[in-house]
Amino acid sequence: MGTPEISATVFEALINKGLYFVGLIAQPDRPVGRKGELEKVPTKVVAEKYGIPVFQPVKIRKEYEFVKDLAPDVIITLAYGQIVPQGLLDIPTVGCVNLHGSLLPKYRGAAPIQYALINGEKVTGMTLMEMVAAMDAGRMYAKKEVAIEDDDNATSLFKKMAQAAIDLTLENINSYAMGTLPGEEQDESQVSFCPTIKPEQEKLDLNLNVKELHGWVRGLSDHPGAYFYLDGKKLKVYKSQVLNDEMTAEVGTIVQADKRGFVVQCNGGQLALLEVQKEGKNRMDYKSFLNGNQGLLGKKLD
């Protein structure tokens, strides 16, 4: 059970390593672009490539009887996107496992990979866990740590986490199926949550300090991208750097805009904008952007 690109990457790797899948359950295809044409979700593309049946119920809590006919031994879930009902969890002969993108019990919820970057973590990881009716609350069977480098963003970290999920599954799924992975209960006192990131959170909040703003840039890059407003138009920021802890101007003021840097004053320091995209234009490095946008020094972002 899975829907987005990370799920597709792991799904295909597990197929190629010899795991036998009787079906894929994914979210329904969604309209994309200005024309609203339906685009297959990434896992569906993989399933069709290998001749694996695909099921895309609108509401899995109401439509899961078909799983009984598939008679699975194990259900593996990664970023499916709906709450799975107990009735479905009870169907597999062995059980259901979930690949969750954090070192549980930290960062239960929908966006653990992004929030690890937003909060400036140095280490995250993937947890193979028991699926239960409560969100990300089951026993933990195995974990694999992933280092977060300074130049990582969500795109690069998702790739690292996909590989961790592949390794974790291949190393443990047979033991799980044979009942030799007892699992460990989560320490409820250590639980933290990370909710879905909403579209309005993509706008960078200048009330945050400079390190927090840098974290949001990393957590939202390369997609959907964080942004400020400049002259009433969105200015997406795909790459940034905390430059210093100086306060030399009002928060939001562009304090440098030349070949040496494109720098904005934030709370607690200054943020260098390294890769940006003006609304309606292409993404580019700051030097290319400044070549086509003169007179920015002293202007304010909001």
302 burial level (CB within 10 Å; 0-12, 13-18, 19+): exposed
Domain match, 151 and 288 both: no
Domain match, 95 and 140 both: yes
Domain match, 205 and 279 both: yes
Which residue numbers in the chain have pLDDT < 50? none
Domain match, 117 and 186 both: yes
* CATH number of the domain to which 249 belongs: 3.10.25.10
Q: Which of 129, 161, 194 is the last residue of a domain?
A: 194
Give the separation between CA 272 and CA 242, rounded to whole angstroms: 6
pLDDT of amino acid 148: 98
CB 126 within 8 A of CB 172: no
Residue 275 belongs to what domain range?
199-292
| 203 in any annotated domain | yes
Task: Quote the pTM value.
Answer: 0.95
Taking Cα atoms as reference points, which of 75, 140, 127 lies closest to residue 101? 127
| 297 in any annotated domain | no
Q: What is the mean pLDDT of the chain?
A: 96
Give the separation between CA 12 and CA 78, rounded to whole angstroms: 13
pLDDT of amino acid 42: 98
Sign, Cα dihedral of 130, 175, 26, 196? positive
Domain match, 189 and 110 both: yes
Domain count, the chain: 2
Domain match, 265 and 167 both: no
* CATH number of the domain to which 9 belongs: 3.40.50.170
pLDDT of amino acid 135: 85
Domain match, 96 and 160 both: yes
What pairing do the DSSP bridges indicate for beta strands 193-194 and 108-109? parallel
Domain match, 36 and 118 both: yes
Residue position matching structure tokens 């036998």: 20
Domain match, 133 and 111 both: yes
pLDDT digits (tens, 9 = 90+) for 181-207: 989 999 999 999 999 999 999 999 999
pLDDT digits (tens, 9 = 90+) for 24-56: 999 999 998 888 899 999 999 999 999 999 999
CB 234 within 8 A of CB 151: no
Q: Which two tokens stand for residue 192?
A: 């933290």
Give the separation between CA 104 and CA 151, rounded to whole angstroms: 24
Domain match, 205 and 277 both: yes
| 298 in any annotated domain | no
